[in-house]
Each structure stands twice: as C-alpha cells, then as structure tokens.
C-alpha cells in the first residue's frame, strides 16, 4: 500500500502533497509500464525480453524539479537482471529531476533555504 506525504517548508510555508510507494496493482510489470512514457516503456521491455517472470522493484519516489521548483512524485523501476534503473523527467518541463533517496533531506525548491519537513497524510492503493 502506498502512502501520501506532505512536504512543508518552514521558511516560505510552501506545501506539496504527493503519493509515494506502490499499490497492489504494481506487482505485475504490465501494470507498472503505464506509469512511464513510451520511450522508457520500450527500454524496460527490451531489458526484460526473454524473462518469463521479470524481477523488479517499483515505487513512486519524491523528486524535485529544479526548473519548475516543485516537489513531485515520479515512478522509478529497478530491473534486477539488467541492473538498470529508469525514472522519467519532469512531466511539465522535461528536465531531469533530483530523486530523493530514503534518508536524504530535500531542500525547499521554492526558497532554497530550508530542509523540507515531511509528514504522513494518508494511504493509497
């Protein structure tokens, strides 16, 4: 089950609420593909060609777009056999995003001054 996180800047008070993690339907590769643009779908299918049951890890992760100055949720997939990881660019401007790793603290993309505070705002599936 996925979670909904709220990111808040204590300095400028900007707030973002995004969905993270994965839902029950994301256990099958064919369901995960829909989360990615066509060019990445093609790469994923090429990497998993010939695998009867592709082994992968999928989840939506928090990311920052430096151009749009927004916190957003992006789908990320890691394919075990090929070792490749794929994530799309910002859906609004097409620029590469900075994906938040598990223990990493995000700095507010709005003001650039403070680490963002994160709180649980719910669950999704």
Which pLDDT score, from 0 to 100, does residue 99 have?
95
Which pLDDT score, from 0 to 100, does residue 8 have?
97
Confirm whether pTM is higher than 0.85: yes
Which pLDDT score, from 0 to 100, does residue 71 have?
97
Q: How far apart are CA 30 and CA 26, in angstroms?
A: 8
Minimal CA–CA distance to 14: which of 73, 70, 60?
Answer: 70
Which pLDDT score, from 0 to 100, does residue 113 have?
92
Angle at 86 between CA 26 and CA 73, to 5 degrees: 65
* Tens-digit pLDDT string for the chain (125 aa): 899 999 999 999 999 999 999 988 889 999 999 999 999 999 999 999 989 899 999 999 999 999 999 999 999 999 999 999 999 999 999 999 999 987 889 999 999 999 999 999 999 88
Q: What is the Cα Rg of the chain in Å? A: 15
CA dihedral 55, 34, 15, 101 (to 10 degrees): 20
Cross-strand partners of 53: none
Which pLDDT score, from 0 to 100, does residue 41 have?
97
């Amino acid at each position: 089950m996925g979670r909904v996180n709220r990111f808040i800047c204590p300095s400028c008070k900007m707030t973002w609420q995004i969905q993270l993690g994965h839902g029950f339907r994301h256990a099958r590769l064919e369901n995960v593909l829909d989360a990615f643009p066509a060019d990445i779908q093609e790469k994923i299918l090429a990497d998993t060609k010939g695998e009867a049951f592709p082994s992968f890890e999928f989840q939506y992760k928090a990311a920052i777009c430096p151009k749009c100055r927004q916190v957003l949720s992006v789908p990320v997939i890691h394919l075990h056999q090929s070792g490749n990881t794929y994530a799309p660019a910002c859906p609004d401007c097409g620029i590469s995003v900075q994906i938040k790793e598990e223990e990493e603290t995000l700095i507010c993309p709005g003001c650039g001054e403070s680490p963002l505070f994160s709180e649980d705002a719910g669950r999704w599936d």
